[in-house]
Amino acid sequence: SLATSAALTDELVSHGELMSTLLFVEILRERDVQAHWFDVRKVMRTSDRFGRAEPDIAALAELAAQQLLPRLSETLVITQGFIGSESKGRTTTLGRGGSDYTAALLAEALHAARVDIWTDVPGIYTTDPRVVPVAQRIDEIDFEEAAEMATFGAKVLHPATLLPAVRSDIPVFVGSSKDPQAGGTLVCNKTQNPPLFRALALRRNQTLLTLHSLNMLHSRGFLAEVFGILARHNISVDLITTSEVSVALTLDTTGSTSTGDTLLTQSLLMELSALCRVEVEEGLALVALIGNNLSKACGVGKEVFGVLEPFNIRMICYGASSHNLCFLVPGDDAEKVVQKLHQNLFE
């Protein structure tokens, strides 16, 4: 069954973390550093939603205080990210970005002073340097901006990573393991004089779902029904815009270990089709301009869309958050759009 295969997948993929940490402890011992290997599954209690398990914060705090905290005063502890265990002891995984998330969860449980995340880039940039080579590093950024960037596709940080840190006001430092001396970005609660435009994020593999129904006119429950169906199928909606007789939603297929096709199952499409006419458009990309007080500033629309005249823009979301302006473009245009905007707003 699907549930069994998901549980088996989690069991299998956990071995990478377990083996790499065992090897790391041996390397440290070879260099005369005393280190203790700790199985994180003893403390990381999660739900049994294999592939994307939810941590149980209260259980983690209690177990970490009992089993992990006493060891920290004695020695260096090496443990795993990304994996946990459910109530019956079966191995689970926290989904993509789970290792950084684990670091932040453990920091919260252990009341740490700071979380350091070592990745392959020295910090957070105004946009992905692979798309725009002249992108600049941001030395200090606040949680809200960083969370927006992470949510909208900046791969350096996973959005979930920041949640425990924000809740407990623990600063997060992001640096490069290839070049630890190169500095990085510090994510903290508040920064001095944040700029109007902070960064551009790009998220590929977006699906646009447009639902048309004349029943929407003067009807109160249509959207509730739509969201009810999506919730039953475990689908979270990203952006949404509505008109008199239609609603457009974007679905992000990049978050889970499952692929896009498994999100829009036949049964889901059938349930939606009973309610309205359904159009599905795939292969789109989401571009997000992250900033501060964007919805209160004048001329933002002109600055952004003025330079995007040559491109087809499928959907715009603006105003719900003062931190972002998002729009959908065809996947093939995404990089050109980001380059054009970066040149205009940041260079």
**CB atoms inside a 10 Å sphere around CB 317:** 19
Residue with tokens 């900046």: 154
The predicted structure's pLDDT at residue 18: 98
**Is residue 120 part of an annotated ligand binding site?**
yes
Contact (Cβ atoms closer than 8 angstroms) between residue 110 and residue 257:
no
Ranges 194-208, 239-253, 273-287, 320-334: which has the least confidence: 239-253
- CB-facing half-sphere around the CA of 270: CA atoms within 13 A: 3
pLDDT at 149: 85
Q: Note whether 257 and 214 are within 8 A (CB).
A: no
Alpha-carbon distance of 332 to 335, in angstroms, equals: 7
Positive/negative CA dihedral, 42, 163, 331, 133: negative
Per-residue pLDDT at 3 exceeds 70: no
What are 116-129's pLDDT values in tens digits?
A: 999 888 899 999 99
Identify the pLDDT of residue 234. 84
Cα–Cα distance, 249 to 210 (Å, whole number) = 6
Q: What is the DSSP letter of 338?
A: H
Highest mean pLDDT among 75-79, 93-97, 244-248 belongs to 75-79
Contact 45, 85 (CB under 8 A): yes
Please report which confidence band the pLDDT of residue 254 belongs to, taking 50, 70 and 90 as the band edges: low
Enter the pTM of the model: 0.78
What's residue 258's pLDDT? 43
- Is residue 174 annotated as involved in ligand binding? no
**Could you state, in order of their start, the residue ranges of all structural domains in the chain?**
1-112, 113-191, 200-345
pLDDT digits (tens, 9 = 90+) for 92-101: 999 877 899 9
Query: Alpha-carbon distance 84 to 94, whole Å?
Result: 7
CA 170 to chain centre: 18
At 81-94, the pLDDT tens digits run 999 999 999 999 99
Kindly report the three-state secondary structure assignment for every residue of 77-109.
EECCCCEEECCCCCEEECCCCHHHHHHHHHHHH
CATH superfamily for domain 200-345:
VC0802-like (3.30.2130.10)
Mean pLDDT, to the nearest integer, of 290-312?
92
Q: Which residue has the tokens 């919260």?
A: 108
Once rounded to an integer, what is the mean pLDDT over residues 327-341?
96
> Residue 255: what pLDDT?
47
Task: Quote the mean pLDDT of the chain.
Answer: 90
Q: Is 125 marked as binding a ligand?
A: yes
User: For the domain bounded by 113-191, which CATH number is listed?
Assistant: 3.40.1160.10
Q: Is 93 annotated as a binding residue?
A: no
The answer to whether 318 is a known ligand-binding residue is: no
Examine the pLDDT at 256 and tell me if it is beyond 50.
Answer: no
pLDDT digits (tens, 9 = 90+) for 204-226: 989 999 999 887 776 778 889 99
The residue-averaged pLDDT of 234-246 equals 87
User: Which residue has better confidence, 192 or 216?
Assistant: 192
Higher per-residue pLDDT: 213 or 33: 33
Query: Quick one: pLDDT at residue 311?
Result: 95
Same fold flag, 1-112 and 200-345? no
Which residue type occupies 32? Answer: D
Structure tokens that stand for 48 in this block = 């049994």
Task: Determine whether the annotation assigns residue 101 to a binding site.
Answer: no
User: Which percentage of the chain shows pLDDT scores above 70?
Assistant: 95
Average of per-residue pLDDT across 49-70: 96
Q: What pLDDT is attached to residue 273?
A: 93
Tokens, residue 45:
């209690």
Q: How confident is the model at residue 150, as a pLDDT? A: 80
Q: Which CATH number fits domain 1-112: 3.40.50.300, 2.60.120.260, 3.40.1160.10, 3.30.1450.10?
A: 3.40.1160.10
